[in-house]
Amino acid sequence: MKKALIPLALFLVIAGFLFAGLDLKPREVPSPLVGKVAPDFELPVLHQPDRLFKPADMKGKPWMLNVWASWCVVCRDEHPVLVALAKRDLIPILGLNYKDQPEDAKRWLKQFGDPYLFSVMDAEGRIGIDYGVYGVPETYLIDGAGVIRFKHIGVLTPEIVAGKILPLLKAMP
Amino acid sequence: MRRLALVLVLALGLPGLAQQAPQEARLRLLEEKLRCLVCQNQSLADSPAGLADDLRRTLREQVKSGRSDQEILDFMVARYGDFVLYKPPFKATTALLWVGPFVLLALALVTLAAMARRRRNATAEPDLGAEERRLVAQALGTQEDRK
């Protein structure tokens, strides 16, 4: 009787591991940057290329950095979420236009709407590497002290905005 | 003339090559230690993804600027986490990863030993009393047990 239970116990252990595995997302690598100061950079603004932006310019208030590109197909899925969030005027959203052509990027924003305070151009993807970007779109929530408080990889959904970003924002001074 | 050309090639070309070769080898080694995050089962050396190109470019620049292997790997880990390393460091969070297979192996060996012992015991001659021996002998039609 006891012996007969061994395969059943083994089965349950394996099934437990597999079941837990269903919810794991191996593509979403936890970022070591959360809790650290957002890496510094200086990049030209998309619509005013002779103006340079640095994260220090945003010091004192929380802001969002959204990595996007006109070649990124799923960015179109997330775009309405950003547009809706921008309309509520809760937090400035900045775009990091990643490895894109300025003309394509501008046309894209005209077509789908521009939720960004402004976008900056990371033409070669170097700042993307500093921010650990590996799957556009990615979104960072940065607090008034310039510390990254949250990172989301992939398409931003209304659930993530309402369940993660807005509560974190509310808790910020 | 040909000999002169050969001498020139050897004199000018080889030191350049010799300088380049270890650098290329170092790059290749580094690329194989690092995972491409876009296609996660490929190393940077093998991945055709755009990000892998960018990271290879970054590696090349850092090797050229004289950074050590450890500095370069630390640079990558600071941005992409331990996951970027194919050989993750031994820490509390990765202990199960490193020790797990050996625990399983030990368990398997213990189980195997237990089973082997049980089987050996099972095939040994059963411990019979005198009465039982007589019954067995009767059933088999022999006069008396040989012992």
Q: Nearest to residue A141, comparing CAs of A167, A113, A122?
A: A167
Q: Measured on CA atoms in the order A86, A90, A92, A97, is the torsion positive or negative?
A: negative
Q: What angle do CA B56, B61, B62 make, to 5 degrees?
A: 95
> In this structure, which amino acid lies at residue A43?
L
Most confident of A39-53, B11-25, B44-58, B113-127: A39-53
Domain that holds residue B62: 1-89
Residues B75 and B39 in one domain: yes
Over residues A65-118, the pLDDT tens digits come to: 999 999 999 999 999 999 999 999 999 999 999 999 999 999 999 999 999 999
Residue A46 C-alpha, separation from nearest chain B C-alpha, in angstroms: 22
Name the residue in chain A with its Cα closest to that of B36. A134
User: By three-state DSSP, how is residue A9 classified?
Assistant: helix
B40 CB neighbours in chain A (<8 A) are 26-27
Domain boundaries, chain A: 32-171
Task: Count Cβ atoms within 10 A of the Cβ of residue B121 and give its class: 0-12 exposed, 13-18 middle, 19 or more buried.
Answer: exposed
Q: How many domains does chain B have?
A: 2
- Please give the helix or strand (H or E) that residue A137 lies within, else none: none
> Does residue B5 sit in the same domain as residue B64?
yes
- In this structure, are B82 and B126 located in the same domain? no
Its ipTM equals 0.77
A42 or B122, which is more confident? Answer: A42
Statement to judge: residues B43 and B64 lie in one domain: yes
In chain B, which residues have their Cβ closer than 8 Å to the Cβ of A128?
A: 51, 54
Indicate if B49 and B109 belong to the same structural domain: no
* Superfamily, domain A32-171: Glutaredoxin (3.40.30.10)
* Shared domain check, B85 and B98: no
B39: pLDDT strictly greater than 90: no
Identify from B34, B40, B54 which residue to disrupt to test chain A contact, counting A C-beta atoms within 10 A and taking the largest count.
B54
Q: How many CA atoms lie within 13 A of B32 on its CB side?
A: 6
Helices A75-87 and A102-112 pack at an angle, to 10 degrees, of: 60
- A125 CA to chain B: closest CA distance, Å? 7
Element (H, E) at B137: helix B130-140
Average model confidence (pLDDT) for chain A?
A: 92
Give the ranges where A35-121 is alpha helix by DSSP (H). 75-87, 102-112
Q: Which H or E element spans position A74?
A: none
Q: Which domain-ending residue is among B73, B89, B105?
A: B89
